[in-house]
Structure 1
Amino acid sequence: MPNPQTPLIQADSLNLRINDNPILQDITLSLSAGEIVTVVGPNGSGKSTLLRALIGAMRPTSGRITRASGLRLGYVPQRLHIDPTLPLSVRRFLNLPRRHSRQAIDQALEQAGIPGRADSALTSLSGGQFQRALMARALIDAPNLLMLDEASQGLDQAGTAEFYRQLEHIRDRLGCGILLVSHDLHVVMRAADRVICLNHHICCQGRPEAVTAAPEYRALFGTDDDTALALFRHNPHHHPHDAHTEPDHAG
């Protein structure tokens, strides 16, 4: 079990290049238990690459990533292709690569918002239900840190809002940290304790209301409408990091 006084994961001066193209530049960030952090940015800004680097799927060109000792990591990918001819039930899918108890599977499906679907064929699920099955798979080992890459795709606006409310319940129940990438700005910022605005480097970060007021954010997303920004505001949660409300400008 990670020490609650130390970050779950931390990146220091992280750089990553692909075919000599700089994708991530001088990224420094950390994430603590009980915190929901959202990464936003335009297409091609390096958001998915950042998550893959943090979980160890991509090797940084330079810099350091530190993970807490004993960290249990759950990851929900942006997409996962399953052969539609494969006779795979949700239960069998959740038992890959190792078996779990019936109780653990039922609990994970309930937490993900699709209770009672363990014996359904994976291919019979709607797009939104499939994303929730991926979420259940990430939750089944009670992660300390949950990472989600555009995990609300396939959901309509109401389903997306419910999905992020579910994330808050998961955080409150497990006490885990959550790091998610999303383009659903109007919805996701309401669930975030902290927002990181990324465009290959960290443009700004802080509480949602501070970030949406930052000129770097407005330049990227082309909004200067304060009434629209009001949609981003949410009821703050009382966690130790609540004091850090100012955007952290990083060039």
Structure 2
Amino acid sequence: MSALVAIEGLRVRHGAQTVLDDVDLRIAKGEIVTVLGPNGSGKTTLMRAILGAVPLAGGRITHAPRLRIGYVPQKLALSPSLPLSVSRFLSLPTRRSVRACRAALAEADVAGLETREIASLSGGQLQRVLLARALLGDPQLLILDEPTTGLDQPGAAEFYRRIETLRAARGCAVLMVSHDLHVVMSASDRVICLNGHICCSGSPQAVASAPEYRALFGTGTGGALALYRHSHDHSHDHGCDHDHGHSDGADPGGGAGHAHGAPARPSAQETRRGVVR
């Protein structure tokens, strides 16, 4: 299946500092991909590069023709004194009908908030409103930058369940950035471990046991997968691969994106670059 987004050899610099180097990534229709990494690892920069908001120092990013992207930012910078209702916010910058706004809020599981002031919303409500705003554009790819910042674990788990429901209903792909190890791992079809480059990638279970992942996050996250089991989990073995793009474009419902049976022996180049199978 052709990818919605194909990234090849991506390099991004901030001044003299290289933030991302040699990043290859493909995002296919209908899959949920989560990018994990410590602070300063380039997660948000990767999202901004996909959105075209930062210049590339190398490589290329290819979008599917007329790709519709919905973006949910990490936070919203608005003055608390600004009188702005939810319905008005949803109609900026493109005017939306009352019916469309109500439908989007209901889909984001915050029906009835259209008359509330943005400044009066809780953190969880605001994130759902931001999600509703992204849904109004009927996105084929939904990008979320640390969407559960400030939420407790049950709230984060519920938010990710909502994302899965949206994926199932709309068939859109989802790309999430997070450092929330307690919930997000099992809410994903594929996890990318990023630290300036892609350290390893694969199913949540495979990445959680990868040496590269444990080197970044330690071994104290073993209970993370138990908090919220993703409905995709099954009894097959899943491989954890360095992300070169050739296996990432598969439909998550099919078998091409998963390694079944005996794992392949990594090549010398893959071993050097942190591939785990």
Q: TM-score range, shorter-chain basis?
A: over 0.9
Deviation at residue 226 of structure 1 after TM alignment: 5.1
- 2:99 equivalent among 103, 107, 116: 103
* Structure 1 residues 106 and 13, CA gap change in structure 2 (3 angstroms): same
CA distances 1:114-165 after superposition (whole Å, capped 9, x unpaired) = 1110111111101111111111111111100000001112322111110000
Conserved in 2, the CA contact under 8 Å of 1:9 and 1:67? yes
Aligned to 2:241: none
Aligned-residue sequence identity (percent) comes to 54
Indicate the SS of the match to 1:210.
helix
Structure-2 change in CA distance of 1:128 and 1:53 (3 Å): same
- What secondary structure sits across from 2:186 in the alignment? coil
Amino acid at match of 1:20: A
Distance 1:135 1:18 in 2: 29
2:152 corresponds in structure 1 to: 156
Q: CA deviation at 1:233?
A: 5.5
2:135 maps to which residue?
Answer: 139
Query: Measured at CA, do residues 138 and 210 of structure 1 come closer, stay the same or move farther in structure 2, by a change above 3 Å?
Result: same
Q: In structure 2, do the counterparts of structure 1 residues 82 and 197 end up closer, same or farther at CA, with 3 Å as the change threshold?
A: same
**What's the counterpart of residue 40 of structure 2?**
44
| CA RMSD of superposed structures (Å) | 2.0
Measured after TM superposition, the shift of residue 227 of structure 1 is 5.6
The SS at the match of 2:133 is helix
Displacement after TM superposition at 1:231 (Å)? 5.2
Say if 2:260 is the partner of 1:239: no
Deviation of residue 100 (structure 1)? 1.1
Q: TM-score, normalised by structure 2?
A: 0.84
Where in structure 2 are the equivalents of 1:40-189 lying within 5 Å?
Answer: 40-189=36-185
**Contact kept? 1:11, 1:30, Cα under 8 Å:** yes
Which sits farther off after the overlay, 149-158 or 196-205?
149-158
Q: How far apart are the structure 2 equivalents of 1:241 and 1:189?
A: 20
- 2:186 maps to what in 1? 190
Query: Residue by residue, what CA displacement relative to the aligned partner does 1:84-138 show, whole Å, maximum 9, x if unpaired?
Result: 1111100000000011122211111112121110111111101111111111111
Structure 2: segments with no counterpart, 5+ residues: 234-251
Q: Is 1:27 aligned to 2:23, yes or no?
A: yes
1:10 aligns with one of 3, 6, 10: 6
Deviation for aligned residue 1:242:
6.2
Q: State how far apart, in whole Å, the 1-side matches of 2:112 and 2:225 are.
A: 38
How far has the Cα of 1:243 moved from its partner? 3.9
Give CA-to-partner distance per residue, 1:145-202, whole Å, 9 cap, x none. Answer: 0000011123221111100000000101110000001111120111100000000000
**Cα 1:64–1:241 shift into 2, 3 Å:** farther
Deviates more, 1:100-109 or 1:56-65: 100-109
Structure-2 separation of matches of 1:59 and 1:81: 23
Counterpart-to-counterpart distance in 2, 1:76 and 1:108: 14
Please, which runs of 5 or more residues in structure 1 have no aligned partner? Answer: none
Give the structure-1-normalised TM-score: 0.92
Letter of the 1:38 partner, please give it: T
